[in-house]
Structure 1
Amino acid sequence: MAERTKANAPGWFWLVAIVFLLWSLAGCFACYTQLTLTPQDLAKLPAAQQDAWSAMTPLPKIAYVVAVAAGLLGSILLLMRSGLARLLFIVSLIGVLIQFGWFFGIYAELQKLGASSAAFPAFIVAMALIEIWFSGLAARRGWLR
């Protein structure tokens, strides 16, 4: 059976998809290193961060793993030009929102670590939204199968 013909993706599509993949790999590395902190590693962190990591319940940890795994799979699917990429990016955003919802809502990180602690999480949420938007754009333009 003949596969449906899709529009050729422009070169910048591949560049953006590779940036998303690298971003996702960095997220996976950060997740792994943070969730495997030894007591000695934890002791090297500032006291407020030690408290945050020690107080973390399983829910935000699971959400963190889901967020980075879904983001990585979404990036791979985007490079494969699969329409499922957008769904995985949405799952990733949900994981991010659950994780940061715990940090900022339940743990009250802003009060404990200050407003500057929200800058990088805000960037992470923005990246997740950009991945969703971009994969939707790619689908609308016929670059995804």
Structure 2
Amino acid sequence: MAIRHGGRLVARLASTLGEESMSTNRHTYIAAAAILWNLIGLIIFVLRVTIGPEQVAALAPADRAVFDATPAWLLVVFGVATVTGVIGAVGLWRRAPWAGPVLGLSLAAVLVQMVGMYAATPAWQASGPAGLVLPAVIIALGAAQWRYASTRA
């Protein structure tokens, strides 16, 4: 009988330790994915603001029209979205209490950027309804990161 009770205790302890370890591993994977996703966004931003004239000339006419019509303020918002996304994702990895608000700022900037892109440029004419898929994915992932970080603080 004593072994049986001791066995339950060991099993319960192992279960608790396993759940904590799984929770830590899950958090690490989520944070690593968030960092990677936001770094990809930052790379795209850097490529966008450093594109050379020969590369612009090689764009399809519809894409060039969007490029040429993009106002500078929209690039600033894009930069804010990506930089705060990376900073917030690193904060998420470190379990920093400020990660949620920083990722919330990133999400707000993404929303302004996406609305601005369709309001200030001919993006709709260039891509049509199919062009809404990537912005929707970006917004959904930003919202998921913000929500996850906000519940972990």
TM-score (ref. length: structure 2) = 0.81
Given that residues 59 and 99 in structure 1 are in contact (C-alpha distance below 8 angstroms), is that contact kept between their aligned partners in structure 2? no
* Equivalent in the alignment of 2:16: none
* Equivalent in the alignment of 1:52: 66
Distance 2:122 2:104 in 1: 25
Q: How does 1:125-136 map to 2 (within 5 A)?
A: 125-136=139-150
Q: How does 1:1-145 map to 2 (within 5 A)?
A: 10-139=24-153
Q: Share of identical aligned residues, percent?
A: 23
Using CA pairs below 8 Å that are at least 6 residues apart, which structure has the higher relative contact order? 1
**Greater helix proportion:** 2
Task: Give CA deviations for 1:80-123 in whole Å, capped at 9, x if unaligned.
Answer: 11010011111101111111111112324223321111111111
Q: Where do 5+ consecutive residues of structure 1 fail to align?
A: 1-6, 140-145
Distance 2:90 2:130 in 1: 32
Higher CA-based Rg: 2
Q: Where do 5+ consecutive residues of structure 2 fail to align?
A: 1-19
Given that residues 101 and 150 in structure 2 are in contact (C-alpha distance below 8 angstroms), is that contact kept between their aligned partners in structure 1? no
* RMSD over equivalenced CA pairs, Å: 1.5
Q: Size of the alignment, in residue pairs?
A: 133
